Amino acid sequence: MLLTKVQVVLIDDNDKVVGYKEKFATHKVPVPLHRAISIVIFNKDKSEILITQRAKIKPTWPLFWSNTVCSHPYDGESYQEAVDRRISEEVGFRTKLTEKFRFTYEATMDNGVWGEHEYDVVFTGTYDGEVKPNLDEIADYKWIKIEDLKNDLKENPKKYTPWFKIILEKLEI
């Protein structure tokens, strides 16, 4: 279930732990800086990306399209351990994931109540198989050609999460 007592790891600008806060409360403005992970999955020839539509029950950016998986590591869990755990939990498969880059961003939803302030560690991988989405996390998913995604981002930027737009720029696809 979405609104659990999961603790998010709060950090300083150097990724040093400064405390913990319940996940739901963490994302209310003002949002403290916290650890996050993002996964981008390509098909085998890297012509398509698996994107997911966030579940309607999510307080932050519900029903927006985003990268394959977005989540948070647990206390004491490495970023690699977190992505290996979350890919299976959210989309129902496993694949080799490689860290690509790290970045910090802040974003506030139009309602001014919910937001993000994350130190996001981005991983990529490839996969060509069955996707089994966790419906508590994902409302829909699709494989999309990179060129079609770029065009849609230009035409409909408001249907995508702010961090996904940054990730795509940094991946230079």
Q: Report the pLDDT value the prediction gives residue 2, as an integer from 0 to 100.
A: 45
Determine how many CB atoms are found less than 10 A away from the CB of residue 76: 8
Q: Spell out where 6-150 has E strands.
A: 7-11, 17-22, 34-42, 48-54, 65-66, 69-71, 98-108, 115-126, 138-145
**Residue written as token pair 């940054």:** 166
Q: Report the pLDDT value the prediction gives residue 131, as an integer from 0 to 100.
A: 98
pLDDT < 50 stretches in the chain:
1-3
Taken in order of first residue, the domains within the chain and their CATH numbers are 7-171 (3.90.79.10)
Q: Report the pLDDT value the prediction gives residue 1, as an integer from 0 to 100.
A: 39
Which amino acid is residue 73, in one-letter code? P
Query: Which pair of structure tokens corresponds to residue 142?
Result: 């699709």
Q: Report the pLDDT value the prediction gives residue 4, as an integer from 0 to 100.
A: 53
User: Annotated catalytic sites, by residue?
Assistant: 70, 118
